[in-house]
Amino acid sequence: MPLWVFPTVYAVAIVVTMIAGIWLLLHLTAFARTFAGTADIVPSPKPARASRRTVRVVLAVFGAGLLLAGAMQILAMTGVANAWIH
């Protein structure tokens, strides 16, 4: 594997996670409306600006990016990533 692949994939995972997280923060009314009735989440009286499907997709992208970034960080810390590069 070329030297630039691992850091590039890691950076893309971090950027995707950040973008999805910021989107979720900006659309908290839609997020609360999607999960209304569970735990202590109470939706706002304002109408949601995004559909429930969109919120779930962005939440899945956020989770996948977070898992990928975490897995790559563990690979880098344990030295497994170094074996792939050489």
Question: For 28-47, what is each residue's pLDDT tens digit?
Answer: 888 888 877 766 766 677 78
DSSP character string of 29-82: HHHHHHTTTSTT----SSPPSS-HHHHHHHHHHHHHHHHHHHHHHHHHHHTHHH
Residue type present at position 49: R
Q: How far apart are CA 21 and CA 3, in angstroms?
A: 29
Q: Which residue has the tokens 């409306």?
A: 33
> What domain range includes position 32?
5-85
Q: How far apart are CA 36 and CA 65, in angstroms?
A: 25
Residue 18 has pLDDT above 90, yes or no: yes
Q: How many domains, in total, are found in the chain?
A: 1
Residue 84 has pLDDT above 90, yes or no: no
